[in-house]
Chains A and B, each alone.
Chain A
Amino acid sequence: AQKVTQAQTEISVVEKEDVTLDCVYETRDTTYYLFWYKQPPSGELVFLIRRNSFDEQNEISGRYSWNFQKSTSSFNFTITASQVVDSAVYFCALTPFNKFYFGSGTKLNVKP
């Protein structure tokens, strides 16, 4: 069975704080891909990152970083020095190849 769990329903931080969004997944496939998407208040989902199961290197892109650990089936997302524009719902997703399994999303509120 494929499943993605985002246990944090909503997180509120003050601007400039660091925040980590958790994502835990379940799959029996040995080859799979993990994604993070951002859905700002405007509604359109924006692709952030794609990771395949063979690449456990952490990735940093500006203020964003991702920590992929197969041993704990986690793919966590950290925003450093958060900004108000980071306020959005963030979705983690898993796909063995084509069909996507999305988590329920974490709503991030960044207050000035």
Chain B
Amino acid sequence: GAGVSQSPSNKVTEKGKDVELRCDPISGHTALYWYRQSLGQGLEFLIYFQGNSAPDKSGLPSDRFSAERTGGSVSTLTIQRTQQEDSAVYLCASSPLADNTQYFGPGTRLTVL
């Protein structure tokens, strides 16, 4: 079946602009996660959605970052007034309710000039 998809695969933007990154989880998966991975680094947790529960936003680095998940499926991560330090690969993962294994998408590479 289809895996997690993310769009765009690459995004180049200018400092100060807003960007939106999209994640389509595996159909039927109730949990959705966003991570950030800077070049050569590990995964930094950003935010977690589980069903209709309030999201765990504890990893969002600043109030410029926000995310929503509409209809329990697609999620959008928005970064406002982008800064050069926001440059990274943004990874999305989803997992089914009965099994907490995370399945990752290919990521969106964000470059802020």
Contacts and interface: CB of A to CB of B under 8 A. Distances in A.
B44 to A, nearest CB: 9
Contact of A35 (B33, B45, B91, B101): B101
B48 interface: yes
Contact of B42 (A43, A97, A104): A104
Nearest to B104: A45
Contacts of B103: 47
B31 interface: yes
Interface string B24-58: 00000001010000000111010010100000100
Nearest to A44: B106
A91 B42 contact: yes
Contacts of B107: 43-44
Given A33-B100, A45-B91, A45-B104, A98 B31 contact: yes
B106 A99 contact: no
Given A35-B101, A98-B100, A43 B45 contact: no
A64 interface: no
B84 interface: no
A93 to B, nearest CB: 8
B100 A43 contact: no
B38 to A, nearest CB: 12
A35 to B, nearest CB: 7
Nearest to A52: B100
27 contacts: A33-B100, A35-B101, A35-B102, A37-B104, A43-B89, A43-B107, A44-B104, A44-B105, A44-B106, A44-B107, A45-B91, A45-B93, A45-B104, A47-B102, A47-B104, A50-B99, A50-B100, A50-B101, A91-B42, A97-B100, A98-B48, A98-B100, A99-B45, A99-B48, A100-B45, A100-B102, A102-B43
Interface of B: 31, 33, 41-43, 45, 48, 50, 56, 89, 91, 93, 99-107
